[in-house]
Structure formats: C-alpha cells, structure tokens
Structure 1
Amino acid sequence: MSQTVAQVTGDLYAEVQTFYARQMRRTDALDIEGFADTFTEDGEVTHADGGRTRGRAEMIAAMRTRLPRYRDVSTQHWFGQLLIEPMNDGSLEISYYTLVAQTGESGLSLQPAYTVRDVLVREPDGRLLTRSRSIRRSTPAQR
C-alpha cells in the first residue's frame, strides 16, 4: 500500500527545525515565559502521564511547580525523525521522536524516549506557533 504525502520544501523543513531548536533552548534554559510564547494563547499540551495544560497561563504555572527538580541539572532535548505533513487548513502536523539528556552531579542520564505529535500554525506576522502537542512515552511495539 502506497501513501501520498505532500512534499515540503527545504526552506520549510529548515524553518521548522529552527523553530524547535529555539523552542527547546528556551525550555532547557528554564525560560518558562519564552517557551510558553512559542504556543498559541490557547495552546494545549497532553503529557505522557495523561495530564493536560491549556493556555499559556496554565502552562507557565505548571512549569513553575516543576522548576525545583531542574535546579541542579543541565537538560537538553534532542529531536529526530522529524516528519512534516501540511494540512488542508494551512497548519502543519509534525511528528518526531525526542530524547532528553540530563547532566548533574551524578553524571549523564537519559530519560525515557517519547513520540511527540504537534500541530503548528502560522500567525499573521509569519511566525510559527504550537497549537497543540501530544507526548507519548515510547513503548515496545505490540507483536
């Protein structure tokens, strides 16, 4: 069975990669407000544990409660296998794998791998923003 997927330009692929590089550098630097600003005002995140945050204010409050656990570690998010699918409404459905590396007093640790599905939208000023994000912990395939 073959599937037709709209091709994206190299410029769009590079733009999306740059968007994620900037977004994740904000979260890794604990720039909570800057990270939240990469989402639409009503942006939504569904976390791997089933929790959900809606809107920038709720996102910022939830992230602030998690800050103490990141006080003594350096965190970097690594994305791979980025797949961009343009949708009929002009949004972009993006899926990718993510791995989180943390370095602290006890050395390097890798967090569980996740599969992430985002919907990005383009604002009237041309910026990309995340409208929704769904994060799922990677598990072995069912056989």
Structure 2
Amino acid sequence: MTYGSGEVHGRISQFYARQMRLLDEGAVEEWADTFTEDAVFEEPSLPEPLKGRPVLVEAARRRVGALAAQGRVRRHWLGMLEVSEGAEPGVLHTRYYALALSTAAGEGVPSFHSSTVAEDILEADGEAFLVRHRSVRND
C-alpha cells in the first residue's frame, strides 16, 4: 500500500464517508465498529477521552438520542484530507477538516454546529481501516 497513491486516498475518503453516514443515521454500533477495540477518541466537549468501543457506543447513543429528542438532524462534512505514512507498517496518519451541521428535522435549513480539525491514526484491517486514535480540535 503506497500511502500517497490516489487509490489509497480514495479508499480512506470512502471509509470516512461511510463512517460519518453511520453516525449521522444513528447506527452507533456499526459506527463504533470502525474503531479498534481499544480506540481513544478526544474532543473538546468531553471531560476526558473516550476509550474503547463500548464507551464509544454509549457516548454516540446518548448524542444521537439527545438530537432526536430535540428534533435535530446532524450531518458531518469532511474535507481537506491529508494522508501520511505512520512509523509502523499498516498504520496511516490522517488530518482533515470536519464541519458538523445541524438542521431541524424536515426544515432543510442547516446551521453550523462546529468547525474542527481532526487527526486520526488508522490501522489497516485487511482491505479496510480502523481508527486507533482520533483527536478533534475546535477552530
């Protein structure tokens, strides 16, 4: 796998498109399955990093439930993806911008919820990837 190739960049873009769609659709178990068993997830709204798939599932379930209770739809938009090779074989580092938009269900007029920069450490898992570590920073 040549990390700078268009083929790898395309595969990673597809990975993120699927991962964010799963979260936005509330498929929290499937979304969590895109992380390693011992993954770490850091973001400013959390008092401490989330660690492990079961914790990711619970946190995502709470967030999805809160949005549903508010009648809101959340969409994530990722762009400006950079990919670099990690020190370990089969490990890649990514950096991207992520926008989270929020819309009242059925309204169709979005507002920005957040603008962030995210950095991931990805592990190759056969032909797929898993997130080992995600760090999100607000602008």
Q: Same fold (TM over 0.5)?
A: yes
Larger Rg: 1
More strand as a share of residues: 2
How far has the Cα of 1:93 moved from its partner?
0.5
> Which residue of structure 1 aligns with residue 104 of structure 2?
104
Q: Percent identity?
A: 30
Q: Distance in 2 between matches of 1:77 and 1:104?
A: 15
How far has the Cα of 1:51 moved from its partner?
2.6
> Which residue of structure 1 aligns with residue 65 of structure 2?
68
Q: Distance in 2 between matches of 1:127 and 1:81?
A: 21
TM, length-normalised to structure 1: 0.85
RMSD after superposition: 1.7
Further displaced range: 22-31 or 40-49: 40-49
Q: Distance in 1 between matches of 2:113 and 2:132?
A: 25
Aligned mate of 2:51, from 54, 63, 87? 54
Q: Distance in 2 between matches of 1:130 and 1:95?
A: 12
Q: Distance in 2 between matches of 1:29 and 1:67?
A: 9
| Deviations 1:40-88 (CA, angstroms, capped at 9, x unpaired) | 0111101123531110011111222223321112221111111101112
How far has the Cα of 1:113 moved from its partner?
0.5
Aligned mate of 1:22, from 7, 18, 29? 18
Q: Distance in 2 between matches of 1:95 and 1:110?
A: 20
Structure 1 gap ranges (5+): 1-5, 139-143
Structure 2 gap ranges (5+): none
How far has the Cα of 1:7 moved from its partner?
6.3
Aligned length: 132
TM, length-normalised to structure 2: 0.88
SS in 1 for 2:60: helix
